[in-house]
Every structure is written in C-alpha cells, then in structure tokens.
Structure 1
Amino acid sequence: MPLRSLPVLAIAVLLLPAVHGSDTAPPDEADAALAAEVAAFLESFIDPGNSPREQAAYFAEGVDYYEQGPASRALIAKDIARYSRRWPWRAYRLARVDYITPDAATGQVFVSYAVDFEVGNRTRVVRGRANYGAVISGLDSEPRIVWIRENITGRARDTIE
C-alpha cells in the first residue's frame, strides 16, 4: 500500500511545539510560518515524482552531501538517477520534524526530520524509516540544502513472487 503524505498545513500544526522548543508554550506567528515553510520545502524535496535534475536543484552547488562530502548538482543528479534505476517505484512520507533551529546570523535553518519510505523494483520491496539532519539556506527566497546526513533506523524487505 503506497504511503500518503499529510497535508502541509497539518504537518505545520504538528511542528509548532518543535519549532518553538516547548510543548506547553504557544508558538508565535513567526514560528508557525517557519514550520509551514520548512514542511512545504521538505514535502516538495521528498516528492518521488521529481526527476533527478529537479531533485538535484534542491541542493546548493558544493553541498556537503551525505558522507560523500562536497558535491556538485551534476554528481547528485547522477546519484539520484542511479537510485531511481535501482528502485523505480518509490513512496515517501514526512513522518515528523523533530526540531527546526534557525540561525539569524547566517539565515540558515537546521532541521532534524524523519521520512517513512517504501521503494521497490520487480523483485523486492524495502520499507522503513530514515532520520535526517539538514541545513537549508535561503528559505525565504530560493531554498537550497547546504548540508545533509541520513541514518536509516528501520528497514524491512519483502520479495515479490
């Protein structure tokens, strides 16, 4: 069964305590707006309908790309194309955003979030959850990921007969 995403507004409402840093204090409008912007960016970023070139455009040129270090968008597009050939069927759902930490001095935002995934090909399906840390710059204009890391925390495999 394919994964379905929550509407961006619902995700933004769920994120409000994480952005504000307290489960009891009400978030202010700036926190709510930031949560909505981040959620919209992440939903768009994890859309499996993006082409490799479109997906690479979410990254800044020279991004610190997972464990590979600095990478060009061309290298990222090749990496995504290779992944797409291996897993032609893909579904992702933004499971949660643990926290959003803006840095007023740089205009960058650190985001910790989790994605439920389900990928497959003709012979098998793999599903699970991955945790991410990312730094996003230019969120108010042309957002780009400048740093990203991934940790897959759960995985199940099924063979298709």
Structure 2
Amino acid sequence: GRVLKQVTSSGLADKRRAAFVETHLHYTGIPHRVNKLVHDKFIVADSTVAITTSNFTATQFGWGERGMKHKTDISNLGRIQNVIRSAENFFGTPRDYVRALMTRPRKGLPKVKVIKKDVFSEVNAFTIFEDPDVANQMANYFDSLWSHSLSKDVEILT
C-alpha cells in the first residue's frame, strides 16, 4: 500500500494525530507522499474502489453543538439585531439561537459580533463498488499522481 495526501502534519492545526499517523506509516514501511494540489479521496483495494467526499481524519465523524462567532465591520448594534429578527422570522429560527453583541477592541471603535448556536457535523458521501476495470484505472491514476513532479516524500524526523 501507499498513501498520498495533500498536506503534512506540520501544515495542520492538530499536528499531533497526523504526526502519529505519519510516523506509524514510516515505521511500518508504508510509503507516503504529499502533493499540495491533490484533493482526490479514494481507496483502491484489489478490485474494490471507494470514492468519498470525506477527508480521512477523525473529525469526519465528529458532531457537537458549538457557538459560531462572526465578526462584522458594523458598529450599529440595532441594525444587526433587525437583520437577525428578519432572518428568525423568515427561517423560523428559535429566538435564542442567534444574538448580537458589541465587541470591546483594544484599538478602534466597537463592532458588532454575531454568535449563533450551531451544530458542527461533517456530512460525507461514500461510494464503494467492485469493478476490476475501474480499480485498474484508478490505480493507474494514483500512480500518475504519485510520480507527479509536485509529489514529495514526507520527511520524518528521527
């Protein structure tokens, strides 16, 4: 097996988990490379192909409530509250889900910040099928990405 990915662990916010996987791949002898332009997500195993919209990370199966914060360049709190009320009426959003408040910047004038109760959730599609011809085509495509001039080996500090 081989792994080709878009970024190394050093380019991620949570470097720890990705670095663990890179080190594990290295010490188990599984070659892995990086190509910053590749965003394809597929697996070929024998004659089985899996094509997905999912990144292969632990967060793909995450779910949780969180407050989404949006900063604005507007200093008129009433204006933003009117927009929120209009949206609540139009979409039927519960009244306590979206609120606006003034920021307290160290420099400059206060601005309005909007906070919305939301749910973080990844929604992905997985298509898995068995087809030897497609598997061969996808394997050849992977080989072309693997040997592309932009694909580089992942360096592991030992």
What's the TM-score once normalised by structure 1's chain length?
A: 0.20
Q: If each structure's strand is expressed as a fraction of its own residues, which one has the higher value?
A: 1
Which protein has greater RCO, CA pairs closer than 8 Å, 6+ apart? Answer: 2
